Chain A
C-alpha cells in the first residue's frame, strides 16, 4: 500500500521523512529544555518553593493538634453551640496533654498561637502548665476550673475547638481585620481598630500619589530628552541613569540629610528667612518624607519607559499638526500625547508595582504615618512573631502585585521589558 506520496519520501538511512523530522524536532525541543532546566530548577528551589512554603504557612495550623492531641480528639464529640462546658473526659484529656506539654515546654507555644485569636490565652496556658502538674486524679474538671476560672468559660473551649483543625482561614481573616466568632459567623473589626485594612488603603493611596508625582515630574524631562539631538539627549539620560544606579540606601540617606529638622532644606529656609528657627518644618518620619524620597527613587522607572516610547513618535507629527493650523497646545494634546499613552501605562504600572511593595525607605523615613503594608509584614516576622499573619498579609500583597503585573504584561509584554 505504498500509494501516498509522503510515505515514499525517505531519508538516507531509510527512515520515513516524517518520522525523522519529528525526531529531529523533538531532539531540538529537548535540547532547548535542557539548557533552561538548570536555572529553572535553581529558581524553583531557591525562590518558588520558599514562596509556596510561605503561602502554606498562612493557612497552616497544626500546632494545636500537635501539642494537645488528646484534647482535640475529645472535643470532637462536644457541641460548641450547646452553651454547656465540655464533659469530664475533655478536661481529663486537657490535663494529660498539659502534663506532656509542660515536660516538652510547648504549653507556651500553643498559648501564644491561641492568643492571636483571643487575648488572655497565652497567660492561661503559661500558668496551666504548672498547675496541671498538681492535679493527680479526678475530678479533673472541678480542679482545673479552680486553678484558673478561664477554664470554666465556654469561649475558651470554643476557641480551642475552632482552631484545632490543621488548616485555618484565621490568618486571612485577621489580615482583613475580621475574625470568626465561635458560632462560625465572620465579624469585622470596628473601622477605627481595622489597622490592616487601613494600612492596605494607605499603601494604595501613597503608591498612587507617588506614581502621579513621578509622572508629573518625569513627563517633561522624558519629552525634553526625546526631542533633543542625540548628543545632548545621551548626556541628559545619564543624569537619569546615575540616580537609577546609585544605591537605594545612599539615596535614602541623602534624603534624611536633606529633610530632617536640622537638615539642609530647613537650614536654607531658616537662612533666607521663610521660616523661623523654631518653626522648622517636619518633613521626615511621616508620610511626606516617604512620598518625597520614594518619588525620587522611583522617578527613573517612569522616565525610562516614557523616553523609549517618545523616541518612537516621529517629530513630523507635531509639525504636520501645526502646519495644518493647530495651536501648539492642541497639537501636543491631540496628536503627541495620545502617542505616549503606552509609555505612561508602562511607567505608571511599573512604579506602582515597585512602590506598593517598598520596605526600606518607608522604614527609615516613614515614621509611623508613612509606613507601608510591607513594614507591617516585617514587624510580624521580627517582633510579634506572628508568622502566619505575616504570611497572610504577604499573600494578599502578592495577589495585588500579580494583578498589576498581568496588566503590565498585557500592555507592554514581559519580553519588551528593557533595562537601563
Chain B
C-alpha cells in the first residue's frame, strides 16, 4: 500500500485511513499486554491492577519492593540459577550436535535426507504435553526424573531442531568451491573446517544456539513434568506462583524477562545483518 495518490476518490481515502487504524489497533493488541505489566510491576499494593494512587502519579502508589523481593527471595534466586545452568548446558549440547548434523545434512551425498530430517525435527512438531508425558514416563523409569541431567537432556532434545534448521539455512548458499579451493591450496581438512567453514556458518550457529537457549529458558511444560522443585526454573516458579499465591513479584519478573527478550531480538537482528554482509562479500 503505497502512499495515497492525489487523484484518490473519497471512498479510497476513507479506506486508506480506516485500514491504517485497523492495523494500528492490531499492533496495539500485540504490544499493549507487554507494556502494561511494566507500570503494574511497580505497584505498592499486592494487586494486579492500577490503584487510584498510581493513576494520580502519587509516588506513594509506586514501589520497587517486588523487585527487591525477586532479588532476595531464595526461591526466585534458585530459579534464576537453575534456568541459566539448564539453558546453558542444553544449548551447548544441542548447538554442537545440531551443527554437526546440519553439516552432514547439507552434503549432497547425504542418503535418506528427508526421512532423517523429519525425525530430527520431530521434537518441534510433537505437542509439548506429549513430549513431556513421554519423557516423564521414560525418565522416571531410568531414574532421570527429578534430576538436572534429565531436564538438560530433555531441553537439549527440544532445542536441536532450531539449530538444525538455522544452520542448514545458512549452508543453503554455501559455495563448495571454497572447500575445494582450500584443499587445493594445501589446507588439511581440519584447517579447512576451522578457517573456511566455521567463519561462514558462525552466524547460523549463534542464532540457532540463541533459539535453543530461549527454548530452554522459556520452556515450562517439560520442566513441570521431568523436573521437581530442585530443578525449578523461572517459568516453573512463575507457573506455580500464578496458580498458588499471586504476587506482583511475578510482574516484576515478567518485566525483566521482557527486557531480556528485547536484548535477544537485538542480538539476532545484528546477526542477520552480519550474515547478509558476509553473503554480499562472497557474491562479488
Which A residues are closer than 8 A to B by beta carbons? 25, 28-29, 31-36, 38-40, 42-44, 46-54, 57, 217-218, 220-221, 223-224, 227-228, 236, 238-243, 245-258, 260, 262-264, 267, 296, 299-300, 315, 328, 353, 356-360, 364, 374, 377-378, 381, 387, 390-391, 394, 397-398, 401-402, 405, 409, 414-415, 417-420
Contact = CB atoms under 8 A, between A and B. Distances in A.
Interface residues of B, number: 94
Interface string B238-268: 1100110010001100100110011011001
B205 interface: no
Contacts of A223: 1
Given A46-B156, A257-B36, A39 B165 contact: no
Contact of A359 (B15, B34, B221): B221
B120 A35 contact: no
Contacts of A390: 133
A208 to B, nearest CB: 16
B42 interface: no
A328 B30 contact: no
Given A53-B137, A250-B34, A220 B97 contact: no
B40 interface: yes
Nearest to A245: B261
| Of listed A29, A257, A258, residue having the most chain B CB within 10 A | A257
B interface SS class:
helix
29 contacts: A31-B109, A32-B110, A35-B101, A35-B103, A36-B120, A50-B139, A51-B126, A54-B138, A220-B22, A224-B19, A227-B2, A236-B27, A239-B31, A243-B30, A246-B257, A247-B218, A247-B261, A249-B220, A257-B37, A257-B40, A257-B49, A258-B36, A262-B48, A262-B49, A328-B15, A353-B127, A391-B133, A419-B165, A420-B207
Nearest to A53: B138
A364 B2 CA distance: 43
B44 interface: no
A255 B138 contact: no
| Of listed B33, B48, B122, B268, residue having the most chain A CB within 10 A | B33
A253 B138 contact: no
B169 A418 contact: yes
A364 B109 contact: no
B202 interface: no
B81 interface: no
A32 B105 CA distance: 7
| Of listed A218, A328, A418, A420, residue having the most chain B CB within 10 A | A420
B176 to A, nearest CB: 12
Contacts of A54: 130, 133-134, 137-138
B36 A57 contact: no
